[in-house]
Structure 1
Amino acid sequence: MYLVLLLIFFLKISINIGFPTSESLLNDTNSYSLDFNSEYKTGGFDFNGDGKQDFIISDFQTKKQYVFFGDLSRYGGKRPLKASMIDGINGFSIAITKRDLQNYPLSGDINNDGYDEIIIRVKNGQLKIIYGNAGPFKNDFSNFDGIEGFIIDYTNTLETEYAAYQVLCDHNGDGIKDLIFNTEDEVFVLYGLDNGKKFPTNSGKFDINFVSNGTYGHIMNQRRSINFGCGDLNNDNIDDLVILSNVIGKVIFGLKIYPTKYNPVLNGTNGFTMDIKANDFKYILQSGFGDFNGDGLQDMAVANQDSNSIYMIYGKKGRIWESHFDISSGNSSEVVKWVRDVSSPQEICKSMYVGDINGDGISDLSCNVNSPGYTWGVYGTTIKLPSVYDLNIKTSPLFGDCRGFIILNTKVIWSTWIDFNNDGILDVIVYFLNGINYILFGQKTIMSASLNIIDTSIAYKSNGEYLFLESNFNPTSSACNVQFIIFKVLDSIDVLDQLSFSSSSNISSDVVSISNSELQVFNTNRDPNFLQSLSNILYKTKRNSTIVTISITYLNIINDTIKIFTANPSINTTSWLPFRAPSYFIDHLKNETDFNLEQNHVTSGMGLRGFTAPQLTADNCYLPKLNMTTPIHATEKVWIESSQTYSNRFNKSFGKYISDEVDFYSLFTRSDSDGSFNFVGSTEYGLKIIDNYGYGKEGEFSNYNWCMVMRLWYCANTTERNGISFVGTNYEMSAFMDNQLVMDSIDRSNFKRNADFNISKDPNSNPHKLDIFICQKGAVTLGPGRSQFFILKIFGLNKNICEYPEDDIIKNCVPTPTTTTTATSPITATSTTSTATTGTATTATATTSTTTTGSAKTSTATTSTPTTSTATTATTTTTGTQPTVTTTATGIQPLITATTTSPSTHVQQNNTVNNDCICVRGQICLPNSHICVNEYDVYQGESCFQLSCALGYDCIEKSNQIYKCVKQYSCITCADITCKSPHRCILVQSTSQKCKYQPTCSN
């Protein structure tokens, strides 16, 4: 099998591989310091709607909270960021009491205007909301008048640990975030407003009864709730609410519509309970949501009350949950318990963050630890984890190798995640034990990986087993090792299909079979040679009728497809590569006698044949207008150079045009080494052009200033290379596939050009028009031992060519001649347009026949057909019994395919009409497939995808991309009427939408 060279696109992504591990490693390139001695901050929101992420931080010296607008460029490189930089342009401040500085602001868009609001909880039982807007901004904000902001009085008692939490999410599924907050006995859900509306207020205060009475939300009786979380765990596109108390944990599934008071009994359909209690430390995030295992579903991470374990509960869709979810079930497909040191569990997570930190499309998890004080993170993974997983810093594969990070000497309160330098990678603001806040920039690297598949079309194998990557790829990767790879059959699934993988002895892999048509292979030990082991992937099938496409993917980095031909290709084509028109050499010299053309006979190898057709002239030999853009039919780089100097390309102002038709019986030779057909211009063999203008003076190497035009039908090769290459010196050469430029070289010396055709390898596809133009530009001196002027290689079509032994170049191209001889009385024979096919293979049309008196002598044919028709060309008539007459396919006419198996009927213009195979005039009907083709077109296969069907037949997709002509109804034909002699039945066009023709008798 000859391989097709493809362009390989290396997909690269920027990922965050970590952060500086301690403050001693910080510098101006990897961090930015803040002049604030405070743990209390929030980030990742866009208050002013400029598309940049902002953050807010408390300052105990000025007793204010400061909003810093992103990104860093607005601060002119000044370090550190200080409160004095806030001037209404770079941000603004919010006056607040000292005791309220120890609260964490919340931010999100609750009125759907595209600007995030800032929500601040204060200790007297109030929530203060500032509406996001584009500015201009005052330096200090304090106006809660209902227009710029408003206040919610939600409790009559001082804040306790049971009335201190709020969260934002879309709990009613309307696409707008809702504000959820608590009192000691109740949970309030305030629905977000649409289109930038303002909440109704009285002197800037929102009446909490609007929630209690159902006007703007609903309430739930949830006594002593401490900690909230929000996300879509059941994956129904409505956020669910997590409520943790000092008694039990609850997950309440979101609904579209709620009663005013909603107190569900959790039964698995509306939510569930779990044995996780709230941490008494109220300033933490104890839960988070995201797709941590890369299955497209949201999962929930929740830390236990003692902070010594994290439970990763995997999301489900369309399934009922248990009314009480057993977090200790040991079922790793539902929940995984993460610990630090299984034998002696230590604190692992005091406050968490879940989000895509490294930018790979999978959610990650980060936690702050109180003792000894550090921040860690692990990146989401599709590796199947055990039910209890040890996150030991030294041994866990989730740390290191671009899969996690640790920042030492940080304080316990949660870190703030924000892309503050606006580079597309998340940064983190951490508070170190030395009392300084730093923005640590996410460290980018370019991760790339490619399988470099050599041949994406895999040939048919009779045993149905395909190791489609074995010796067929050269995988590479950089930066971080590939974690996993997914193989999936994209077409209709056959129950007997099977994808499997055998792990090599030296590379450890974990295989998960999603189904018989989808397989995931995991790089368990982060082996850098993991991709090489994929040569063991095996596809087994019992199919024998289609093409199977298998996708190979890894995140957004690797995205390849392989096509496997599971049907044995049956190639029905001609015995030679036909020419659509005769090939000519055209000389530019003034004297017609100056030009000779010699053709040396090739005595071995393979050959091509041409046929006679109307002669081309100089006027219709012009090059098509050059398309200077990359054509759609080329898979490799196309060399398209300056078109300024076409001095020898059919320039009418330069002398006369002397043309000489070329006989291509033997000019092409077959190369067994690379499967190509070679057309050689040489003084020794192939084509020899002698220009008498210089002959005898400068030698025969001074043959120049001629052009050649070749117009061929090109049929796709099903398993090997499709394309052309050209090698020559001082030549101009262009090739067009279906009128699209696929290769071109102008004004070059000593060049070699290749073009691979990205065309369908379906053996039933239509042929393509291939036009090749070669011009010799001037005297060429090849030097000693070099006699070849040029070599043109055409790849493919090896299934279409027959082999010629010795000098007999026709012997094996057509079936052995058959002779029918009889000693009976003289016969009557007619010469008609008759046809011959074998199966679906096309042959040429016979236009004449020879008859004699006494014994019938006929030339070759592949099919014998009784004939009762009248003569249309030449007739020899005698009397006597009529035997079978066999006609000859000469192989020198444009190829036609049409076979009749019953007596034929003639209509006007000598159209042959099969009663069940009727086409428009000028077209021939193929009776086996009932497809109509033009008289001088080449047709292969039996697909009607781009062709019309005969009368009474419609083109229908019978199976996957296989189109057949199917009879829809019957119409009256000549078989249904009788005409009196000398009249005969003819078919005339009908106005009926059902039947295109109707029979009648001739005048």
Structure 2
Amino acid sequence: MKIVLLLIFFLKISINIGFPSSESLMNDTNSYSLDFHTEFKTGGFDFNGDGKQDFIISDFQTKNQYVFFGDLSRYGGQRPLKDSMIDGINGFSIATTKRELQNYPLCGDINNDGYDEIIIRVKTGQLKIIYGNAGPFKNDFSNFDGIEGFIIDYANTQETKYAAYQVLCDHNGDGINDLIFNTEDEVFVLYGLDNGKKFPTNSGKFDIKYVSNGTYGHIMNRKLTINFGCGDLNNDDIDDLVILSDGTGSVIFGLKIYPTKYDPVLNGTNGFTMDIKANDFKYILQSGFGDFNGDGLQDMAVAYQDSNSIFMIYGKKGGIWESHFDINSGNSSEVVKWVRDVSSPQEICKSMYVGDINGDGISDISCNVFSLEYTWGVYGTTMKLPSVYDLNIKTSPLFGDCRGFIILNTKVISSTWVDFNNDGILDVIEYFYNGINYILFGQKTIISASLNINNSSIAYNSNGEYRFLESNFNPTSSACNVQFITFKVLDGIDVMDQLSFSSSSNISSDVVSISNSELQVFNTNRDPNFLQSLSNILYKTKRKSTIVTISITYLNIINDRIKIFSANPTVNTTSWLPFRAPSYFVDHLKNETDFNLEQKHEGGAGLRGFTAPELTADNCYLPKLNMTSPIHATEKVWIESSQTYSNRFNKSFGKYISDEVDFYSLFTRSDSDGSFNFVGSTEYGLKIIDNYGYGKEGEFSNNNWCMVIRLWYCANTTERNGISFVGTNYEMSAFMDNQLVMDSIDRNNSQNNADFNISKDPNNNPHKLDIFICQKGAVTLGLGVPQFFILRIFGLNNNICEYPEDDIIKNCVPTPTTTTTGTSPITATTTSTATTSTTTTGTATTGTTTSTAKTGTGTQPPVTTTATSIQPLITSTTTTPSTHVQQNNTVNNDCICVRGQICLPNSHICVNQFDMYQGESCFQLSCALGYECMEKSNQIYKCVKQYSCITCADITCKSPHRCILVQSTSQKCKYQPTCSN
């Protein structure tokens, strides 16, 4: 049966970059042979303190153990390595008995002198410790006199499975390794010493009573323990202890100070239990620690007692664990179960190693499968794994280049990992079925691949068929071949959608259709030209009204998006969309001397000043603009979208308004048409905007200024909804819910009107209205006529939000009495009527534009558009773990997730309510509103703030109402806040 299984397995794999897969593929460039015929060896330590890794191996012919000093260059290229090379310079031998040869020595520095000790396990219940040192070395070490080495008698009887295991780690957090070993009744923790001190001995023997009485450590009354592991799972910089036995397993968190006898009842704060027993094989490594998912936290891998599964338990920073950890919870953010063949699990791991094998900074895992005689490894990844990870399927790293490896015909319980050629990458020593040991050289694995898509927006095709990669990409890859590619339609399910792929004649591919809108294409023969064949991907649809987004992904290496316009745009030849005039925003401070506003140029071309930096959006605020560098009239500076202009809000560059501006008393209102008049007469002059940001505080002659104001607009049912504007030497832009509704530049007074075609449904109100006005110079219409502007906002009477009449518009978010559940399309019809105008331009991008007695400045084709409103921009900060935020006063939120998820405040990652994910990698996870998951370094993904979206920080709910988030139609800010009913 074993032979059949191995044959099937061999046929399914190919040669993996990193290690040769069998002894027949080894040569002088990828391996080094050893003339030793035993599996018992240990590596990865530095006994002589030269900064290079050494290994120790047993020899049953000479009945010695041999320590080989690294690196490989000291042996002059002689092959194979032999015991005759050991001469006290290249290493030394240790005289021992045949019974003592059958163990894996333990190595590490337990007296903090920079030299690793060698700890030999003796079957008579002893530990023999040799102190590391710089030499000179005797070729045949045998002196355990307390100076060069010492002995610990830890068992009164012959070694049994319950008194045979030892581990090294810093269990008391002093920065020094401790030696932990067991008897049948107790666990002993011998604290490491500092500054190279020697342990006290009598005739070379250390008395374990020094541990049991608290002088040099502490004990735990844990009977019949079998296997230990050590690592910092709770990431508090103190190593934790894994204890496995015939019963329930346990993890005991490390402490700084222990009582002499420490027997904690594990309650989640001091450790936890788990349903994993010990494997009876002696000396195996049943657990290991490392950062496997690249989140900067230590994780723990532990093999199940039957060797048929591994449980990867993700570490977290501090916090409280469950007193009993459920390894089969199915919560993939806490634990992942690794198997080979879910339907019929095979042996997967007898003994493991966890460490950075491929040199990418993320820990990897390797296991020996003793019964089937092979060794495998999977490289760590920031990719989120499923709760059950099957290593027997096509997407498994074991069947792909550079994501893992398999070495066949190995005859070992434990592999030996050591950087013996001193290149910074771990090598592995394997004992093969032919009776020979080989050092297999490790390699850095670099996976680089890109589709290099030329155009990610695909134009409408009337037949509904789109070969969106054909002649539209220039794929590249290096080092390792891409194993598979996943295509997926992201915009909901449409039964008429179809993704298909036809293999090319010269590149073999295997296609798995997951659904009609998702498929995977596999690189069957590891062809380096596999990516080029993807031009054959075809998307068919009968959609006629949407933009379809298709994702193209491979692990966290390829992550592209294609947008397909499945609807034909409508063109209307009866109206014009004028060419956008340049926008110059200028500082309004009177005492500025380093800018010049030239009055002789018409149409706004003479506006000169200073460019505004990109700033953060803020509410309740009328800022001045911060100008830093000159603008010249020949330059074109555009305000193309709400994202550009909203960045000009910042309370550090103007007067911060903590309360709402009282529009009713500050400005005039008209009851007849329900409007507010901003600067409705020359009596007000330009005093609305002054050197301090707003109000009537400034001088009348403060003539060069800009106003930036954000209002909240609620529709009315009987009067006009919209705005009108007239002025001299001005530039004016207005946006409703981020849609441009008015945009013009004029030297002389010309009235522009924009009427809002917005929903009268209270659930779709209020709307955000942003207005920008700049004016230059004291230019008059004629003798005795001063410069002025009039901004009128309609919609005061009978507003549907049931606000008091003077609250119809506010510069802070109003308090609604209904729950917002959606938004409706916003359109605006803009008209312009010139009174004494000579040159005027006007645009409206969300409606139909008409003009009277105007001269247009552009030649673009006429277009009529109807835009769906986008939700308001947001700025927020929070540590609240829910989308339900209790509001008494304004709450600052910057960590908002959808209902049912909590937001991790340090990383802005959204996880399920009952997940305890404490990492900082967001790959395949959601980010908080306004944040996007982006690669910040090599395969490390972080949530990065991208958008400004309104959250509960921007509204105040009056008790007993609270702030809740409801879904919107925006692709960036998918939720908007409102107050509960």
TM-score, normalised via structure 1 length: 0.49
Change (3 A) 1:80 1:259: same
Distance 1:38 1:180 in 2: 27
Q: Is the Cα contact below 8 Å between 1:641 and 1:745 reproduced in 2?
A: no
State the 1:88 CA deviation: 0.6
Change (3 A) 1:102 1:683: farther
Residue of structure 2 equivalent to 1:851: 849
Change (3 A) 1:533 1:610: farther
SS of 1:487's equivalent in the other structure is: strand
Q: Is the Cα contact below 8 Å between 2:286 and 2:350 reproduced in 1?
A: yes
Change (3 A) 1:324 1:145: same
Q: Is the Cα contact below 8 Å between 2:111 and 2:197 reproduced in 1?
A: yes
State the 1:134 CA deviation: 1.6
Distance 1:927 1:58 in 2: 53
CA distances 1:817-865 after superposition (whole Å, capped 9, x unpaired): 99999999999999x9999999999999999999999xxxxxxxxxxxx
State the 1:44 CA deviation: 1.0
Runs of 4+ in structure 1 over 6 Å off: 1-16, 450-475, 482-601, 604-830, 832-853, 874-1003
Q: Is the Cα contact below 8 Å between 1:266 and 1:272 reproduced in 2?
A: yes
Distance 2:356 2:94 in 1: 30
SS of 2:887's equivalent in the other structure is: helix
**1:907 aligned onto 2:885:** yes
Using the aligned pairs only, state the percent identity. Answer: 90
Q: Is the Cα contact below 8 Å between 2:172 and 2:256 reproduced in 1?
A: yes
Change (3 A) 1:534 1:96: same
Change (3 A) 1:98 1:461: same
Superposed, which structure 2 residues align to 1:472-491 within 5 Å? 476-480=476-480
Distance 1:234 1:934 in 2: 20
Change (3 A) 1:836 1:403: same
State the 1:436 CA deviation: 1.3
CA distances 1:352-410 after superposition (whole Å, capped 9, x unpaired): 11122222222222211222311122222333333333322777354322222222211
State the 1:466 CA deviation: 22
State the 1:431 CA deviation: 1.0
Superposed, which structure 2 residues align to 1:168-207 within 5 Å? 168-207=168-207
CA distances 1:241-291 after superposition (whole Å, capped 9, x unpaired): 111111221111111111111011111111111111111121311111222
State the 1:22 CA deviation: 1.7
State the 1:901 CA deviation: 47
Change (3 A) 1:936 1:207: closer
Distance 1:608 1:5 in 2: 80
Q: Is the Cα contact below 8 Å between 1:637 and 1:755 reproduced in 2?
A: no
Distance 2:965 2:386 in 1: 77
Structure 1, 399-408 or 721-730: larger mean CA deviation:
721-730
SS of 2:583's equivalent in the other structure is: strand
Change (3 A) 1:959 1:915: same
Distance 1:820 1:244 in 2: 55
SS of 1:15's equivalent in the other structure is: coil
Change (3 A) 1:93 1:309: same
CA distances 1:681-737 after superposition (whole Å, capped 9, x unpaired): 999999999999999999999999999999999999999999999999999999999
Q: Is the Cα contact below 8 Å between 1:115 and 1:133 reproduced in 2?
A: yes
Distance 2:828 2:340 in 1: 99
State the 1:82 CA deviation: 0.7
Q: Is the Cα contact below 8 Å between 2:384 and 2:924 reproduced in 1?
A: no
Structure 1, 153-162 or 590-599: larger mean CA deviation:
590-599
Structure 1, 381-390 or 353-362: larger mean CA deviation:
381-390
Distance 1:764 1:571 in 2: 32
CA distances 1:614-658 after superposition (whole Å, capped 9, x unpaired): 999999999999999999999999999999999999999999999
Change (3 A) 1:463 1:68: farther
State the 1:101 CA deviation: 0.7
Distance 1:70 1:678 in 2: 85
Q: Is the Cα contact below 8 Å between 1:459 and 1:719 reproduced in 2?
A: no
Change (3 A) 1:742 1:751: same
State the 1:416 CA deviation: 0.5
Change (3 A) 1:235 1:68: same
State the 1:196 CA deviation: 2.1
Change (3 A) 1:608 1:779: closer
Structure 1, 770-779 or 192-201: larger mean CA deviation:
770-779
Where structure 2 has 5 or more consecutive residues not aligned to the other structure, the ranges are none
Residue of structure 2 equivalent to 1:818: 817
Structure 1, 833-842 or 640-649: larger mean CA deviation:
640-649
Q: Is the Cα contact below 8 Å between 1:367 and 1:375 reproduced in 2?
A: yes
Q: Is the Cα contact below 8 Å between 1:702 and 1:781 reproduced in 2?
A: no
Structure 1, 978-987 or 478-487: larger mean CA deviation:
978-987
State the 1:448 CA deviation: 3.6
Distance 1:107 1:345 in 2: 34
Distance 1:922 1:336 in 2: 22
Q: Is the Cα contact below 8 Å between 1:579 and 1:610 reproduced in 2?
A: no
Change (3 A) 1:914 1:885: farther
Distance 1:745 1:428 in 2: 72
State the 1:518 CA deviation: 23
Larger-Rg structure:
1
Q: Is the Cα contact below 8 Å between 1:182 and 1:188 reproduced in 2?
A: yes
Q: Is the Cα contact below 8 Å between 1:577 and 1:801 reproduced in 2?
A: no
Q: Is the Cα contact below 8 Å between 2:586 and 2:627 reproduced in 1?
A: no
Structure 1, 387-396 or 908-917: larger mean CA deviation:
908-917
State the 1:34 CA deviation: 1.0
Q: Is the Cα contact below 8 Å between 2:690 and 2:696 reproduced in 1?
A: no
CA distances 1:425-444 after superposition (whole Å, capped 9, x unpaired): 22111111221111122245
Distance 2:220 2:561 in 1: 52
Distance 1:917 1:159 in 2: 56
CA distances 1:919-947 after superposition (whole Å, capped 9, x unpaired): 99999999999999999999999999999
Q: Is the Cα contact below 8 Å between 1:379 and 1:398 reproduced in 2?
A: no
Distance 2:417 2:153 in 1: 30
Q: Is the Cα contact below 8 Å between 1:689 and 1:703 reproduced in 2?
A: no
Change (3 A) 1:200 1:398: same
Q: Is the Cα contact below 8 Å between 2:294 and 2:381 reproduced in 1?
A: yes
Q: Is the Cα contact below 8 Å between 1:240 and 1:253 reproduced in 2?
A: yes
Distance 1:712 1:980 in 2: 20
Structure 1, 671-680 or 97-106: larger mean CA deviation:
671-680
Q: Is the Cα contact below 8 Å between 1:835 and 1:844 reproduced in 2?
A: no
Residue of structure 2 equivalent to 1:856: none
State the 1:135 CA deviation: 1.5
TM-score, normalised via structure 2 length: 0.50
Distance 1:237 1:209 in 2: 28
SS of 1:902's equivalent in the other structure is: coil
Structure 1, 230-239 or 910-919: larger mean CA deviation:
910-919
CA distances 1:316-358 after superposition (whole Å, capped 9, x unpaired): 3333222122222232332222222333322221111112222
SS of 2:611's equivalent in the other structure is: coil
State the 1:23 CA deviation: 1.7
Residue of structure 1 equivalent to 2:132: 132
CA distances 1:760-817 after superposition (whole Å, capped 9, x unpaired): 9999999999999999999999999999999999999999999999999999999999
State the 1:164 CA deviation: 0.5
Q: Is the Cα contact below 8 Å between 1:251 and 1:271 reproduced in 2?
A: yes
Q: Is the Cα contact below 8 Å between 2:712 and 2:811 reproduced in 1?
A: no
Structure 1, 693-702 or 193-202: larger mean CA deviation:
693-702
Q: Is the Cα contact below 8 Å between 1:843 and 1:897 reproduced in 2?
A: no
Superposed, which structure 2 residues align to 1:66-145 within 5 Å? 66-145=66-145
State the 1:423 CA deviation: 2.1
Q: Is the Cα contact below 8 Å between 2:307 and 2:350 reproduced in 1?
A: yes
State the 1:223 CA deviation: 0.4
Structure 1, 404-413 or 166-175: larger mean CA deviation:
404-413
CA distances 1:726-750 after superposition (whole Å, capped 9, x unpaired): 9999999999999999999999999
Distance 1:331 1:429 in 2: 36
Where structure 1 has 5 or more consecutive residues not aligned to the other structure, the ranges are 854-873
